[in-house]
Structure 1
Amino acid sequence: MRCQLTGREPGFGNRVSHSHRKTRRRWNPNVQRKRYWVPSLNRFVTLTLSTKAIKTVDKQGIESVVARLRAQGVRV
């Protein structure tokens, strides 16, 4: 999964056993599907956001975030 606002994606690396055998693994970001009411659009918008992005939306407001996503060309 990928965050629509911050662009966070899974990180990749190695799982290292006690004997130092290495196998590939991934660290998934904490991504949530969150539904917001956008008054200017008069409808709900569902966004896939990391928890850091949810805090950003709470601080900046959903209107400015939706405007920024539309400027990037993301369909909201």
Structure 2
Amino acid sequence: MRCDLTGREPGFGKRVSHSHVRTSRRWDPNVQAKRYWLASEGRHIRLRLSAKGIKTVDRIGIEAAVARIRAQGGRP
């Protein structure tokens, strides 16, 4: 699971038990599927965004966010 806007991906590490046995684990980003109205194209687009990505869209607007995603080589 990867954020379309910020590029956040799972982090990997080790879970350490009381006896110090180490096993693998991962930290998943808080990725949500969001649907936005893209007025310039007259259609809805569906994006997979992390919580920080949703806040970024709220701050800069959906048009600027889509332009940023396309500049990174993504396809909204």
> Is TM (by shorter chain) over 0.5?
yes
> 2:18 aligns to what SS in structure 1?
coil
Runs of 4+ that moved beyond 3 A: none
Give the structure 1 partner of residue 44 of structure 2. Answer: 44
1:33-56: CA deviation from partner (whole Å, max 9, x where unpaired): 000001001000000000001000
**TM-score, normalised with respect to structure 1:** 0.96
Give the structure 1 partner of residue 5 of structure 2. Answer: 5
Give the structure 2 partner of residue 31 of structure 1. Answer: 31
Give the structure 1 partner of residue 73 of structure 2. Answer: 73
Count matched residues. 76
RMSD over equivalenced CA pairs, Å: 0.7
Q: Which runs of 5+ in 2 are unaligned?
A: none
Q: Which runs of 5+ in 1 are unaligned?
A: none
1:16-75: CA deviation from partner (whole Å, max 9, x where unpaired): 110000000000000000000010010000000000010000000000111111222212
The percent identity for this pair of structures is 68
